[in-house]
Amino acid sequence: MATITAAEVFVTSAGRNFVTLRITTSDGVTGLGDATLNGRELSVASYLRDHLVPLLLGRDPARIEDMWHYLYKGAYWRRGPVTMTAIAAVDTALWDIKGKVAGMPVYDLLGGLARDGALVYGHASGQDTAELLDDVARFKDLGFRAIRAQAAVPGSPASYGVRHGDGQGYEPAAASLPDEQLWHTEDYLDFAPRYLTAVRERFGFGFHLLHDVHHRLTPTEAGQLGHRLEDLRMFWMEDPVPAELQDNFRQVRAATRTPIAVGEVFNSIWDCEQLISERLIDYIRASVVHAGGITHLRRIFHLAELHQVRTGSHGATDLSPVSMSAAVHLDVTAANFGIQEYMAHDPLAFEVFTPGYTYRDGALYPSDAPGLGVEFDEKAAERFPYDPRYLPVSRRRDGSVHDW
């Protein structure tokens, strides 16, 4: 029996911060896992280094299911983004190792291809409607068949999802402390349907149109927005309300036929059990990295499949090429796959990671190399030391804190 002989944690800021776990076995096989929790990176690095690595050494890397329950139930303190991201990193690395040992890509271990590639959506944005329309045209030219559209709301600098400058990043990462930005819900509710309508007027209905509300509305407001968007035949309205209260979605659901997606902040099946089993949503957006790895996300996908809820996993640039690779391997095997979010990483990320996927004609295709097909260059990573960053905070006009 092979055993785990080393488990190392790397924190690198190749374009943005990433935490990576590398597990090595006594047979010399290595596996990679992503452990990045945007803005709280070092807490997961510590959870791994200080608490999980000592538990991994000497154990059988082949027993993935056992390892998952050992780490989940063994902690006693269940769930939570830090714990579940750390477990995800171990789980992903063990699937990578299992694939390499078997000489198979991970998608083959998961049952084999159910489709050739994973349909993706890209992020179009603009400081105003005209700029957004130009950006949608750019994504169409790149072959995207599904496009998310976000524009800056006049008077609300905290508008979510709008790129600044030419870079891919749109989360203004402040150097030392969170950027505090003004947000006004009424202006957004007035403006968003207008720019989304402009997108349909200019480009028609021959592609999927998506929009992210980023958890900023009350159930009443979200129901009204969804209702106003109905004629635009949106692919989805994402994160309409804060999602701690699953029951919130009942009211949104009753108020609109616009499809609903949620789940990027979920870390376990228990966060979405009611949403799925009561069909309060159409798409579940949990990810490999923040929802306990391939083992646990697959469980969520299977529950969703029973209830005709489709998948639409989170794939912003704070998910490293390691978990994006794992996502694509899982996506191409899932019977109820819907779509995969895809934001191309900063080119610096590819000085450290070689991804296990390629983009072509609006879809991502997994590598057919054994395991996840992703590589990590430790020496290159050393050139990009950790760079503390925070997500912004929104405040209303009266100074009170609003959901960012």
* Residue carrying structure tokens 């998961």: 110
Comparison of 154 and 169: residue with beta carbon closer to ligand GCO: 169
- Name the minimum Å distance from CB 322 to Mg ion: 20
> How do 357-360 and 363-366 pair as beta strands?
antiparallel
> Which partner in Mg ion, ligand GCO, none is near 258 (CB below 5 to 8 A by kind)?
none
Q: Segment 205-224, which members bind ligand GCO (CB under 6 A)? A: 212, 214
For residue 206, give the 3-state DSSP assignment.
Answer: coil
264 binds ligand GCO (CB under 6 A): yes
Q: Per the structure block, which two tokens stand in for 348? A: 């610096």
291 binds ligand GCO (CB under 6 A): no
Query: H or E element: which one contains 21?
Result: strand 17-25
Q: Applying CB under 6 A, which of residues 96, 221, 282, 341 lies at the interface with ligand GCO?
A: 341
* Catalytic position from the list 214, 290, 314, 329: 214
Comparison of 12 and 38: residue with beta carbon closer to ligand GCO: 38
> Which partner in Mg ion, ligand GCO, none is near 113 (CB below 5 to 8 A by kind)?
none
Per-residue CA distances from 175 to 79, 182, 387 (Å): 30, 19, 8
Q: Applying CB under 6 A, which of residues 316, 332, 363, 364 lies at the interface with ligand GCO?
A: 316
Cβ-based neighbours of 68, under 8 Å, separated by 6 or more: 87, 91, 292, 293, 295, 296
Q: Applying CB under 5 A, which of residues 212, 318, 331, 375 lies at the interface with Mg ion?
A: 212
352 binds ligand GCO (CB under 6 A): no
Say whether 296 is catalytic: no
> Which partner in ligand GCO, Mg ion, none is near 135 (CB below 5 to 8 A by kind)?
none
| Sheet (strand 17-25) strand order | 4-13, 17-25, 30-34
- Name the minimum Å distance from CB 239 to Mg ion: 5
Q: Tell me, what amino acid is at 335?
A: A
From 249-257, 310-318, 329-337, 364-372, span contacting ligand GCO (CB under 6 A): 310-318
Closest chain position to Mg ion (CB): 212
345 binds ligand GCO (CB under 6 A): no
Rounded to the nearest 10 degrees, the angle between the axes of helix 81-102 and helix 293-306 is 100
- Name the minimum Å distance from CB 341 to ligand GCO: 6
Q: What is the dihedral of CA 60, 63, 69, 70, to 10 degrees?
A: -10
41 binds ligand GCO (CB under 6 A): no
Strands annotated E in 127-246: 146-151, 180-182, 208-212, 236-238
* Catalytic position from the list 160, 188, 283, 342: 160
341 binds Mg ion (CB under 5 A): no
How many residues touch ligand GCO under the rule CB under 6 A: the total is 10
Q: Segment 139-178, which members bind ligand GCO (CB under 6 A)? A: 171
The single-letter DSSP state of residue 51 is I
β-pair partners for 19: 11
Q: Kindly give the residue spans of alpha helices, DSSP state H, lying in 278-392.
A: 293-306, 321-331, 349-352, 378-382
Per-residue CA distances from 185 to 155, 157, 311 (Å): 11, 12, 28
Q: Tell me, what amino acid is at 71?
A: L
Say whether 160 is catalytic: yes
- Name the minimum Å distance from CB 234 to ligand GCO: 15
Query: H or E element: which one contains 228?
Result: helix 219-228
Q: Which residues of this chain interact with Mg ion, rule CB under 5 A? A: 212
Contact residues toward ligand GCO (CB under 6 A) are 38, 171, 212, 214, 264, 314, 316, 318, 341, 391
- Which active-site residues does the annotation give? 160, 214
